[in-house]
Amino acid sequence: MWIKKQIPNCITLLNLFCGCLAVIFAVSGHLELTALCTIAGIGFDFFDGLAARLLKAQSELGLQLDSLADMVTSGLVPGIVMYQLMSQVFGKPFYVTPPSWSSEQILASFDMSYMSLFGLMITLASAYRLAKFNIDTRQSTSFIGLPTPANTLLIISLPLILKFQLDTWVLKLILNKWFLIVLTCISCFLLNAEIRLFSLKFKTWGLLENWVRYTFLLLSIVLIVFFKFIAIPGVILLYVLMSLIFREKKEK
């Protein structure tokens, strides 16, 4: 019985492990590997809650552990990724690569505009959002504000687009300082905005009560199949818009 209750916690720890790997890759400048580890961590974040519900093993420990893991995978990582992207625009990117581990070498490589640090606002906003989520009783069946995993997918899609779908207009847009600044501000706002968004957690599999979720998943798959990584920002926008439309219909 004790082992069964620990299964969701073990999955949560796998999320944290992936987040730690993502941080290592991010500070080393390997943003594609960062994205891969982050996506794996978000996957574990989804399945730990599913496992807890299936095994009836929900616990206060699991709730707190989940938030701590999310703070790394979906809080620290997107902030570092945005910092590295801004560093390419405002100054020299900061990479920690062996054998340059001495303090003198690290400080010498820290040659960049301090404006790049603005990207870490995403980490601060994520921490505030996760802390607020733990004490907000209104978010048991839906979310208020953009969930940190969704926001993280938005941010890590940028280096993936640059790597695998590079085009002139894409390069000019993503590596535009005003685009990165505005996107950071939008990200921080959405994380803590008083906007009710539907949850993708299925309590039942019925079509009628889950038609919004099924519609969103179907449209997301179609977008990703046709547009690949460029579709990810569109999927996040679709999620917000469908939540607002659904809320308006429900209120009427």
Report residue 75 as tokens: 């809080």
pLDDT at 225: 95
Q: Which residues of the chain have pLDDT under 50?
A: 248-252
Query: 158 Cβ partners below 8 Å, 6+ apart?
Result: 81, 85, 174
**Is 63 part of a structural domain of the chain?**
yes
Tell me if 209 is assigned to some domain.
Answer: no
Structural domain boundaries enclosing 131: 2-163+171-195
CA gap 62, 235 in Å, rounded:
29
**Residue-level pLDDT at 147:** 95
Q: Identify the pLDDT of residue 231.
A: 95
Distances (CA, A) of 132 to 67, 126, 129, 151: 11, 10, 5, 16
The structural domain count of the chain equals: 1
208 in a structural domain: no
User: Within 13 Å and on the Cβ side, how many CA atoms surround 135?
Assistant: 4
Find the CATH number of the domain harbouring 43: 1.20.120.1760
Residue 107 lies in a domain: yes
pLDDT digits (tens, 9 = 90+) for 154-206: 999 999 999 998 888 888 999 999 999 999 999 999 999 999 999 887 666 77
Give the pLDDT of residue 127: 97
Which pair of structure tokens corresponds to residue 62? 């699991």
Q: Residue 97 has what pLDDT?
A: 52
What pLDDT, on the 0 to 100 scale, is given for residue 252? 43
pTM of the model: 0.87
